[in-house]
Structure 1
Amino acid sequence: MKKSLLTPLLVVTALAAHAQNITVTGRVLSATGEAQPGATVLERGTTNGTATGANGEFSLSVSPQATLTISALGFAPQQVPVQGRTTLEVRLVASATDLGDVVVTGSRAAIGRSNVLTASPVDVISAREIKAFAQTDVSQVLTYVAPSFQSSRQTISDGTDAADPATLRGLGPDQVLVLVNGKRRYQQALVNINGTVGRGSVGTDLNVIPTAAIKRIEVLRDGAAALYGSDAIAGVINIQLKDDTTGVQATGLYGQTVESDGQTQQADINIGIGLNKRGFLDIGGQLLNRGYTNRSFADTAPLIYLGDSGGNYPASANTEQARRDLKAQDDALVSQRGFDRNDIRVGQSALRNFSGFLNGGYRLGSGYEVYLMGNAAYRTSHAAGFNRLPTALTQIDLNIFPNGYLPFIDVTLYDQSAIVGVRKTVGGFAADLSNTFGRNELAYNVSGSVNASLPQGPNLVGVNPTSFYAGRLAFLQNTTNLGFSRRFEQVGPLATLNVAFGGEFRVDNFLIGRGEYASYINGGRLLNGAPTASGSQVFPGYQPQDEVNKSRTNLAGYVDLESDISERLLVHLAGRAERYSDFGGNVSGQASARFSIIDGLAIRGTIGNGFRAPSLQQRYFTSTATQFVSGNPRQVLTANNDSPIVRNDVSNSTQPGFGVEALRQEKSTNYSLGLTARFLRTFTLTADLYQIDIRDRIVLSSQFTTSNPTVATILRNTQVTSVQFFANAVNTRTQGIDVVLSERLRLNERSNLGFTAAANFNETVVRSFNSSSSTINNDQTAGTANLQNTLFNRQQRTRLENGNPRSKILLTANYSLDKFSVEARSVRFGEVQTKDQDPVRSNLDQTFSAKWITDLTVSYQILKQVGLTVGVNNLFNVYPDKVIVDPRNDPNNFAVGANSYSSSVDNSNRGRFLYNANQFGFNGAYYFTRLSVTL
């Protein structure tokens, strides 16, 4: 009976409390009376808030006893008690100490600092900057707003077509740590083993995070392994999710290139929900449909139907006239059969991405706060490989593909994560206990292809498969953290002292799953008594012997001290010890300081050591694939580090090997020295020099072939002709400077103007080699077949040193007037280089010159809830330099002889790859329109 009476009483009480809320209206002004549009008005202790309009006006329903927190960029925040009032006028005071964006990355201090007051350089990219232009994913956004960050889409590179490699400060994709809300993000399952930037590395897939869910991105440009652990050699990218929105924000985008391809349809949505003024729930999602682009050129193979497997003149055509006659006959067949010499697709893959991210928090009783985050993503990619001519008889079934074929690799990516945690103050320390689970999986399918080793015949058309399931890669990580932090005031001679300490336990797991039987077998078909190519062409499936399911654990502890020694001096010390179950332990330390010379001018610097643990993928990845070099099949084994082929010495009678040691951690030493300056309250300058030395850097070796007698001995009991593997093979040094200048001006109460100029200049050099192998060190074979020359050949070295731009300059300006705004940006991507693996062909070495890419957008707020943006990326339709093509690959040069397309010439290009993708891509101009709705 009492319960039945109590329930309606509670309901009435709740309704009465809600009815007691009052609506407060007001204006937010500067000290001189200028309206402040876009200022944040928040009921303290809740997620109930709003933003001021064009005239600085706001309206908000709050409790009569509420306190409002009012903040705007460049002004000190104010706490304003309502005290029953329904109208307010608030004047904000400019504050030098609050000018700039408050950051949390790189410090565990209880009170955040602006990015010009930190001991380490941090870039802050706001949600507005993320949406200012037409980049649709995180890696592309960062490429165009953070000069030290670089990512470009790859082409004809297997799984890398679906997962863009990303780098920071010219280092590798696996030497930057990614956090989400300060929690470690797991790596992707994919190992980049193709000829792309980051070859041999395992990065983190940034593009599974929808931009609609992001509040801001903080890029810490400093070594931070002592703070966060493995991978943070180049720096840290911390993605902060939205936690302060209410209502619904949605955008729709359509765009396409100047060539009328690459059509993009994108829909974003973010829903912010307040939870009874005690918490929040933000849900962001993205649907992206991206069309492919094709910038290939006509196939210059001299012969399509009458040549050898690479389209070259046969040895029997040994006179100029014979080659002319054969070319005329072949051209007639090409015309008769309607063969299209545009027989390859060079450009970005077709891709669909569906992703969502949830971020929530809730305050319980007794001082407890629980929080949770989680994401789910599903991505499909349809990417072309190299085409097969009808003369490639060991790689084709002419009954199915009489005119040759273009095979495709279809990648399906699954990504899931869940983070749960609880916070509470214990003994004066802020305690944070959390668990992070993440999993990334890539499943490979091949379409439009054949297994040429299967029996052939007209009666088998429709029976022999043309599509295959080729297997999967999966990586799983579970991380449990417990951390404590407390800020002390006036500790002896110290003005402040922030003490943080904690521990972490992590479990990693890597898995390779086999493909279907037809995707990897050799069906026994012979051609002129010789075997034909095994498995699905373009991507043979993972075999049973490739299957892996390996795990390891890591236990770590850290301590972090930060102190304002005085008003002018800030000191930060950090140390971290880790123990891995598979290779041992590591200790890292870091010391940072910032000293204010005069008001507005300071110097800062860091010295520390770090490390990167070898990934499970690098240690255990293995595969056997058929690759074709100059039209000749080559069975290539990627051997894992535990393989006897890699670990045994060449003298081992059972299975000779290279004698390479077990993978160990990369060790780094980093130094930085910087200057920060602030002038006229709104102009800021930061300049930071840095040097990063890395010892025992892990790389994927070049291919060792049986042309070397030692390799022939090692591979004598296998069916492969080439082998490559991971090793701690090189020591490198990276030096550079980051410079950022920004100016934000409020012209009057109706208009604002902003400028940013930023640049990164860096240089990475290989200082020495560490083969750690007597087999390699003692090899006396002459020329490029020498094992020491092959371990990390000139092509791989150039890719590491010059594959990414050594400089990037970014200039941005934005202007707003009432409902109208315009953004302009120009980015200079520095030069990159390529070299052929054989110095004999140094004539193909090339430097691709620097280019400026200019973007422009115009926006108009049609209604309070509806905005429209139109714009163009790469306004002047700039392309990279064209690739040098070997002059011997001229099909009309009949006088060069029948051997013009010999094994010394790589015919896989044949004039069709005329652009280099490692600067900014080669799609050309891109036009778009975006509609935004806020409810």
Structure 2
Amino acid sequence: MKKILGAVSLAALTAATAYAQSADTEDTIVVVGTRSEGRTALQTTAPVDVVDVSALENTGITELNAALAYTLPSFNFPSPSITDGTDHVRPATLRGLGPDQTLVLVNSRRRHASALVNLGGSVGRGSAAVDLNTIPTAAIGQVQVLRDGASAQYGSDAIAGVIDVQLREASEGGQVSATYGRYATDIPLTTGERTASDGETVNLSGWVGLPLGADGFLTLSAEYLDRAPTNRAGPDPRQQYPSLSGGGLDPREQTFDRINHRFGLADAEAFSFFANAGLPINATTELYGWAGYQTREGEAAGFYRRAQDSRNVLAIYPDGFLPLITTDIEDFSAVGGARGVIGGWDWDASLGYGRNELAYGVENSLNTSLGAASPTSFDAGSLIYDQITGNLDFVRSYDLDGFAGPLSVAFGAEYRLEGYEIKAGEEASYITGDPSKAGGSQVFPGFQPGNAVDEDRDSIGVYLDLEADVTDRLLLTGAVRAESYSDFGETVTGRVSARYELSESVALRGAISNGFRAPSLQQAYFTSTSTVFVGTPPTPVEVGTFPADSAVAAALGGEPLDAEELMNYSGGVVFTQGAFSLTVDAYAIDIDNRIVLSENLSGATVESLLQAAGVNGVTRARFFINGVETETRGVDIVATYGVDTDRYGDFNFTLGYNRNETEVTQAPSSEVLPGVTLFARREIARFEEGQPDDKLIGSVNWTRGAFGGVLRATRFGETVDPGSAADGSGDEVLDPKTIVDAEVSADVFEGLTVSFGANNLFDEYPDATSLDPNLAGTFSDIFPFSGFSPFGFSGRYVYGRIRYAW
């Protein structure tokens, strides 16, 4: 807590003398965190960030999550590698909490989640979150981010806050752009610096506004992305080929390319399309709707199998092989509705559907247990999540005697039907032929018929929301929400907040709320069986992931999942003076019953319990559990300033700072398995230290006539990649690093703009793993950088862009 208080003082002093985000923030009307019309981002009772689309477009970043990470200090988006499906759908976090603890809306309507549940050893392990990268930047008008618990207003998942993506609305005009970039970097390996030029990226995007009737609009947006993979692996020093029968090394050892792994960003190709429409049908009623579609193919590498590896079949791969995990993602969403006025009430009714499917494939691989007859490519099965959501909302303002402003009364209901499926892969992807050898496709065994799942649930929630300017200085709000889920029961949440103006320039604000997050269907029902090798010599063992309410999990002490529960306290100050604004907001978030994925449980007791539960062949097990309790404390500081000069042009300055600390105060234990750790020290440390302890973003946006430029510096605080040692001796500490991005642009003629820029201009890398004497070893040389690095480990990215607007 002393660190936080010190950081508040330092950053507040810095912000008072520096400059900040968007000079238009004071005048921007927000729709998240309030249901009253006309509130600006600085007039709400909780902090709201407004990110205009220009801040997302004027950068070489091609992913929405990544762009937000360099815009919002409390938002983080690491770049793990060799983490199976997480390489393709990377999780993002707000205020250091779980990726699934932030609610995502599109046009103020709930967005469906990804079908993927993150199982690898990355930030967000065990979560199933919304994939923001399915929304193309071209379709966006602005993004509003509420940094406060809001379950009482919006329902489940709004523990850390709410991200509302507002789609572009235009009945005329348009824009097309083409961006080309690649990484041009010198990789600081301990074996010698290696130069790389890879990750070639082509991005084509555009939007057009069309009239719809006399007063309506139809905005169409599309984007194409093609990104080649990056590789930051070091050389593999191990012996690659079996020793000769008479002794000695195979001559091929001398000519073998030691950069045989691939460690970096996955290959990706995506096409996205969005349509957004609004059509007034009379003086009081409007129809609206939007639809989006994305198809995205990805390819990421696993661990290289050497020629002499017991998992290799020499008849197929005499030189070894690099197995590849491929994904084919299809994402679709559509919402239609109507809104209007009746009897003095503003009403809004909508029905939406969203679906995300992730199909797994395995290429350049084999099923070792099938020997030389094994195929080399596999259909490994698929995951599907879909959601139907219906909303009905009413809002009305009442003038009350004694109140300085009207009382806003809002109430409504939301119905949600969710479904989750796991489809089995082809037989060769999971079958075990020779039981003495590893079964299933190497790097990613396919889902078995026994893993197939088709489950659903429904829920209904009702809410009441009140807001009023009680006096000229005092704004009070209150909200209560009741929800009922078909699988785990009912919950009631509430929130009260206030804003008090001490003067025209200074206001205080604060909120107290409780909240919840329902267990996702992915967490409740995901199941898989895979082969891992343990011991020396390596011995194949079967590990099963079982649903929390299954007989297997119950035998091991598991229970059906319950909702996570939250208490959130926040308080802050708002200062405005002309074009300068400063907000400082502290928060305390206590969460009980956090849902996590257990360790891989093993031992004689586990094996006997598995056999008693009728599970044959599987000797290790894991499942999702409640029971982790955490306390998060932090502060957000945002300052903005805009200045226009006749001689030097117009400047918008931004400074944003976040300091965040999380402590695990309780970890789950099992009465059935005394002495067996359900949630080990490594997983606890990922909660507490796996994200930067602070983050500072300073930027300036400059325009003068036909010329413009953006300069941004982002300092990421200390981050820890936890090791497995109980005493922490294997932890990898990543020192603070500052990343500088720059872009310059010029209007060639009316409508046509040319831009050039560099992200990570000075080619900064996280600390190399292999330089740490506690971690040095073969694989720390091969994989020299941590996937927990908050800015990745790809190095300098240079790009050029042509944009034409009309």
Counterpart residue type for residue 98 of structure 2: G
For residue 461 of structure 2, the aligned residue among 556, 567, 570 is: 556
Is 1:369 matched with 2:286?
Answer: yes
Is the aligned partner of 1:917 residue 2:787? yes
Q: Is the 8 A contact 1:449 1:467 kept in 2?
A: yes
Native 8 Å contact 2:48 2:145 kept in 1: yes
Q: Distance in 2 between matches of 1:494 and 1:600?
A: 19
Q: Could you tell me whether the CA contact under 8 Å between 2:398 and 2:407 is conserved in 1?
A: yes
Amino acid paired to 1:274 = P
Q: Deviations over 1:99-146 (max 9, x none)?
A: 33221110111x222211111100110011111211111101100000
- What amino acid does structure 1 have at the position aligned with 2:803? S
Please state whether the residue corresponding to 1:775 is helix, strand or coil. coil
Matched residue of 1:535: which SS?
coil
Instruction: Please state how far the C-alpha of 1:912 moved relative to its aligned partner.
Output: 0.7
Structure 2 letter corresponding to 1:102: I
Structure 1 residues 590 and 887, CA gap change in structure 2 (3 angstroms): closer
Which of the residues 632, 638, 646 maps onto 2:553? Answer: 646
Find 1:806's aligned residue among 693, 702, 707. 693
**Residue 28 (structure 1) aligns with:** none
Seen in structure 2, the aligned counterparts of structure 1 residues 632 and 763 have a Cα distance that, compared at 3 Å, is farther
Alpha-carbon shift at residue 488 of structure 1 (Å): 2.2
* Deviation of 1:846 (Å): 2.0
8 Å CA contact 1:889–1:911 kept in 2: the answer is: no
User: Which whole-Å CA distance do the structure 1 matches of 2:637 and 2:243 have between them?
Assistant: 56
Report the counterpart of residue 253 of structure 1 in structure 2: 179
- Match of 1:334, SS? helix
Spell out the pairing of 1:310-321 with structure 2 (5 A cutoff). none
1:472 equivalent in structure 2: 382
In the TM superposition, what are the counterparts of 1:290-689 in structure 2 within 5 Å?
290-301=227-238, 303-306=239-242, 329-330=248-249, 332-335=251-254, 338-365=255-282, 367-393=284-310, 395-456=311-372, 460=373, 464-523=374-433, 525=434, 531-629=436-534, 631-647=538-554, 657-679=555-577, 681-689=578-586
Q: Does 2:639 correspond to 1:741?
A: yes
Report if the CA contact (8 A) 1:261-1:291 is conserved: yes
Deviation at residue 641 of structure 1 after TM alignment: 0.9
SS of 1:159's equivalent in the other structure is helix
The higher-RCO structure (CA 8 Å, 6+ apart) is 2
Report the Cα distance in structure 2 between the residues aligned to 1:750 and 1:920, rounded to whole angstroms: 33
TM-score normalised by structure 1 residue count:
0.80
Cα distance in structure 1, aligned partners of 2:133 and 2:212:
29
Secondary structure of residue in 1 paired with 2:199? coil
Deviation at 1:799, TM superposition (A): 1.2
**Matched residue, 1:713:** 608
Change (3 A) 1:714 1:874: same
Query: Which residue matches 2:82?
Result: 156
Q: Secondary structure at the match of 2:781?
A: coil
Letter in 1 for 2:331: D
- Alignment root-mean-square deviation, CA: 2.0
User: Which residue number corresponds to residue 39 of structure 1?
Assistant: none
1:742-761, aligned counterparts within 5 Å? 742-748=640-646, 751-761=649-659
Partner SS for 1:798: helix
Tell me which moved more, 490-499 or 682-691.
490-499
The 3-state SS of whatever aligns with 2:641 is: strand
The aligned counterpart of 1:762 is 660
Maintained 8 Å contact 1:750/1:818: no
Q: Deviations over 1:353-375 (max 9, x none)?
A: 11111110000036221001110
2:198 corresponds to which letter in structure 1? D
How far did 1:798 drift? Answer: 1.1
Shift of residue 330, structure 1, vs aligned partner: 2.6
2:458 partner SS: strand
| 1:270 Cα deviation from its structure 2 partner | 0.6
* Structure 2 residue aligned with 1:21: none
CA distance in 2, matches of 1:725, 1:889: 29
* 1:754-787 CA-partner distances (Å, limit 9, x unpaired): 111100000111001233x4213xx1xxxxxx31
CA positional deviation for 1:275: 2.1
Give the gaps of 5 or more residues in structure 2: 1-21, 185-195
Contact 1:604 1:673 survives alignment (8 Å):
yes
Residue pairs, 1:50-449, within 5 angstroms: 99-109=26-36, 111-244=37-170, 246-258=172-184, 259-301=196-238, 303-306=239-242, 329-330=248-249, 332-335=251-254, 338-365=255-282, 367-393=284-310, 395-449=311-365
In the TM superposition, residue 455 of structure 1 has moved relative to its aligned partner by 4.1
Map residues 689-728 of structure 1 onto 2, 5 A cutoff. 689-706=586-603, 709-716=604-611, 717-728=615-626
From the superposition, tell whether residues 552 and 916 of structure 1 become closer, same or farther in structure 2 (CA, over 3 Å): same
**How far did 1:340 drift?**
1.9
- What SS does the aligned partner of 1:705 have? coil
Q: Distance in 2 between matches of 1:749 and 1:594?
A: 40
Aligned to 1:53: none
CA distance in 2, matches of 1:340, 1:754: 50
- After TM superposition, give the deviation of residue 825 of structure 1 in Å: 0.1
The CA distance in 2 between the partners of 1:633 and 1:848, in whole Å, is: 34
Whether the 8 Å CA contact 2:367–2:440 is kept in 1: the answer is: yes
For 1:867, the equivalent position in structure 2 comes to 753
Whether 2:800 is the aligned partner of 1:929: answer yes
Query: Which secondary structure does the structure 1 equivalent of 2:70 belong to?
Result: helix
**1:818-829 counterparts in 2 under 5 A?**
818-829=705-716
Distance 1:249 1:277 in 2: 23
Q: State whether residues 657 and 697 of structure 2, in contact with CA within 8 Å, keep that contact through their aligned partners in structure 1.
A: yes
Question: Are the counterparts in 2 of residues 278 and 362 from structure 1 also a CA contact under 8 Å?
Answer: yes
Q: Is the Cα contact below 8 Å between 2:170 and 2:208 reproduced in 1?
A: no
Q: Tell me the percent identity.
A: 42
* Count of aligned positions: 768
Q: In the alignment, residue 345 of structure 1 is paired with which amino acid?
A: R
2-side partners of 1:495 and 1:115: how far apart?
Answer: 18
CA distance in 2, matches of 1:219, 1:701: 32
The answer to whether the 8 Å contact 2:463/2:479 transfers is yes
- Alpha-carbon offset, residue 749 of structure 1: 8.7
2: distance between equivalents of 1:307 and 1:366? Answer: 84
Distance 1:798 1:447 in 2: 34
Residue identity matched to 1:857: E
Is 1:880–2:766 an aligned residue pair? yes
Residue 870 of structure 1 deviates from its aligned partner by 0.4
SS of residue paired to 1:814 = strand
Q: Report deviation, 1:495.
A: 2.3
Given that residues 709 and 745 in structure 2 are in contact (C-alpha distance below 8 angstroms), is that contact kept between their aligned partners in structure 1? yes
Quote the Cα distance in structure 2 between the aligned partners of 1:889 and 1:848: 13
- In the superposition, relative to structure 1, how do residues 307 and 792 fare at CA in structure 2: closer, same or farther (>3 Å)? farther
SS in 2 for 1:711: helix
